Amino acid sequence: MIKTKKIPLRKCLGCNEMFPKKQLIRVVKNNLGDIDIDFKGKAHGRGAYICNEKSCFEKAYKSKAFNRAFQCEVPKDVYERLSKEFENIE
């Protein structure tokens, strides 16, 4: 019997749908309190995920979903860098 590898799923903060972890953009808060975009998905710390849709990012931004996920105020520069990423995707 062949074992199938389990694909880790994560929930998008914008649309609240589950996706494979590799398809999502990870934003991470490390133990020093720094919040940054984690492109490789390997950084240590608390992660929050967003799918590659600009509408999901806008919804998460308006509802302050990142602030709730990290239980702190997310700096504007993080949102600006994320916004630039979505412009590069389209």
Residue 48 pLDDT > 70: yes
Integer Cα distance of 47 and 38 in angstroms: 9
Nearest to 24 by CA among 33, 15, 32: 15
Please give the model's pTM, rounded to 2 decimal places.
Answer: 0.87
Q: Is the backbone of residue 73 left (phi > 0), alpha (psi -120 to 50) or beta?
A: beta
Q: Phi-psi bin for 45: left (phi > 0), alpha (psi -120 to 50), beta?
A: left
What pLDDT score was predicted for residue 14? 94
The dihedrals phi and psi of 84, each to the nearest 5 degrees, come to -65, -35
**Higher-pLDDT residue of 12, 40:** 12
* CATH architecture of the domain with residue range 9-89: 2-Layer Sandwich (3.30)
pLDDT level of residue 19 (50, 70, 90 thresholds): very high
Question: Which pLDDT score is estimated for 55?
Answer: 92
Whether the per-residue pLDDT at 1 is higher than 80: the answer is no
Average pLDDT over residues 49-65: 93
CA distance 81 to 68: 19
Mean pLDDT of 69-80: 93
